[in-house]
């Protein structure tokens, strides 16, 4: 009997280990983005955090997307957050897959958040947003100016329309890429932010080059799907060809 019980325990434990992390709720309609470029799929793993989820790549040594579900109340709470945070290496990643703090040191690049610290509405989530699995090497000026204005514009949309799904990630285009640090963390050529507001039946994407620029481009979801090699199955197909003119205040 004891033996049978032990076997059962192992079976249950084995099942729990195999289960995919469950934080799909941060993505539109509970569906994570899907990689359509098969070259991107090796060494990827989902990391669940308190109020966002990341698909991490052991090839780029950073996120391929970071998904968050924003609400008006959470954004209000986030605006009151005062906290000393610390960038950290996520211990759930196998050795060599994640970027290290040393990679970014004197790299000349910012540790650019994908799901931003300024959207996190509790202590745990804000601390976790400083995981290197949620950041990419981002041009400093871009991060501190243009990108910060884009993040603020998305918060304004959430304050206005409430429930908003945002998926942010890097794009790697061109024959050659730059890398930083001993781990050779890939430097993205562009960054995208996909925004879906169910109550407004609105969906669009913002794309910026990862350079010192004030220029951003608006794209439809279909366009960004073909540019990024990532599909967003949770966003209704009939909204995927919309393209608003621009973002207020950016």
By annotation, the residues acting in catalysis are 113
Among positions 7-36, residues that touch other proteins (CB under 8 A) are none
Q: Which is nearer to other proteins, 183 or 198 (CB)?
A: 183
Q: Is 113 left (phi over 0), alpha (psi -120 to 50) or beta?
A: beta
Q: What is the DSSP string of 11-45?
A: HHHHHHHHSPP--GGGSGGG---EE-SGGG-TTEE
- CB nearer other proteins, residue 22 or residue 173: 173
Distance, CA of 192 to CA of 198 (rounded, Å) = 19
Is the Cα torsion angle 156, 157, 163, 169 positive or negative in sign?
negative
**CA 44/CA 62 separation, integer angstroms:** 10
State in angstroms the smallest separation of the CB of 222 from other proteins: 20
Q: Does 177 bind other proteins (CB under 8 A)?
A: yes
Task: Report the length, in residues, of the chain.
Answer: 250
Closest CA to 112 of 210, 237, 32: 210
- Assess contact for 35 and 41: CB atoms under 8 A: yes
Least distance CB 112 / other proteins (angstroms): 12
Using the rule CB under 8 A, give the single segment among 8-16, 78-86, 230-238, 239-247 that binds other proteins: 78-86
Q: Is 65 in the site for other proteins (CB under 8 A)?
A: no
Task: Considering only residues 205 through 244, tell me which ones interact with other proteins, judged by CB under 8 A.
Answer: 229
Based on its alpha-carbon atoms, the radius of gyration of the chain, rounded to whole angstroms, reads 19
Closest CB 187 distance from other proteins, rounded Å? 6
Number of residues that bind other proteins (CB under 8 A): 44
Q: Is 249 in the site for other proteins (CB under 8 A)?
A: no
Which range touches other proteins (CB under 8 A), out of 84-92, 192-200, 213-221, 230-238? 84-92
Helix (H) or strand (E) holding 164: strand 164-171
Strand partners, 34: 231
Q: Is 235 helix (H, G, I), strand (E, B) or coil?
A: coil
175 scored as a contact of other proteins (CB under 8 A): yes
Task: Check binding of 105 to other proteins (CB under 8 A).
Answer: yes
68 contacts other proteins (rule: CB under 8 A): no
3-state SS assignment for residue 217: strand
| Window 114 to 173, contacts with other proteins (CB under 8 A) | 116-120, 126, 130, 144, 148, 151, 172-173
Q: Which residues are at the interface with other proteins (CB under 8 A)? A: 37, 39-40, 59, 78-88, 101, 105-108, 116-120, 126, 130, 144, 148, 151, 172-181, 184, 186-187, 229
């Amino acid at each position: 009997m004891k033996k049978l019980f032990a076997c059962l325990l192992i079976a249950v434990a084995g099942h729990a280990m195999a289960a995919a992390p469950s934080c799909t709720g941060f993505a539109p309609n509970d569906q994570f983005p899907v990689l359509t470029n098969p070259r991107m799929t090796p060494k990827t793993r989902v990391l669940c955090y308190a109020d966002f989820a990341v698909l991490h790549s052991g090839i780029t040594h950073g996120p391929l997307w970071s998904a968050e579900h924003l609400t008006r109340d959470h954004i209000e709470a986030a605006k009151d957050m005062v906290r000393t945070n610390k960038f950290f290496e996520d211990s759930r990643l196998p050795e060599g897959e994640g970027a290290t703090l040393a990679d970014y040191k004197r790299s000349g690049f910012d540790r650019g958040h994908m799901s931003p610290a300024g959207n996190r509405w509790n202590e745990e989530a804000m601390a976790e947003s400083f995981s290197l699995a949620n950041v990419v090497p981002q041009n400093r000026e871009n991060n501190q100016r243009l990108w910060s204005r884009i993040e603020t514009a998305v918060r304004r949309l959430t304050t206005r329309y409430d429930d908003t799904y945002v998926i942010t990630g890097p794009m790697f285009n061109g024959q050659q890429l730059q890398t930083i640090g001993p781990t050779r963390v890939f430097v993205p050529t562009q960054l995208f932010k996909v925004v879906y507001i169910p109550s407004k039946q609105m969906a669009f994407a913002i794309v910026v080059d990862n350079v010192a620029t004030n220029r951003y481009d608006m794209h439809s979801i279909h366009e960004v799907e073909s540019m990024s090699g990532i599909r967003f199955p949770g966003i209704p197909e009939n909204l995927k060809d919309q393209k608003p003119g621009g973002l207020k205040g950016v």
